[in-house]
Amino acid sequence: MLQFTKEVDYGLQLVITLAKGSRGDLLSLRTFSKDTGISFLFLQRIAKKLKDANIIEATKGAQGGYMLKKNPLKITLKEIIEALEGDYAIIHCLRGKCGCKREKKCESRKVFKKINTHLTDYLEKTKLADFV
């Protein structure tokens, strides 16, 4: 079965929570960690990746926290997933050069490529705002 990592799950929880807040509201990772039971250290790693991908931004200080950097209408699920996991593909050979001797003749690759295309299209069309 197709599966996303806990990192994607928790990252989505974080950005959805940020999207539900008022524009300019800051969210403390420590508070979010306590409210959700997600490890604070794991959330810090997730937040760094989302920050590096320009999806969220941080304000330092006692009153600091995180907020979305862009409008939820402009953030796609694909963008969030790839910020956390790298280029998305349902199997490794679709992420780049396969290296398999049977690449051109591989029957299952054709099936996976079609599934991957449909899923990628969905992830590109689906916006964070669809879940707020």
Residues in contact with 23: Cβ distance below 8 Å, sequence separation at least 6, in sequence order: 67
- Under DSSP, the state recorded for 45 is H
pTM, two decimals, is 0.88
| 126 three-state secondary structure | coil
Each residue's pLDDT tens digit, 76-116: 999 999 999 988 788 877 776 666 777 677 888 888 889 99
Every domain of the chain and the residues it spans = 6-131
Q: Which CATH class is domain 6-131?
A: mainly alpha
pLDDT over threshold 90, residue 1? no
Identify the pLDDT of residue 124: 96
For tokens 């941080």, name the residue: 58
Identify the pLDDT of residue 20: 93
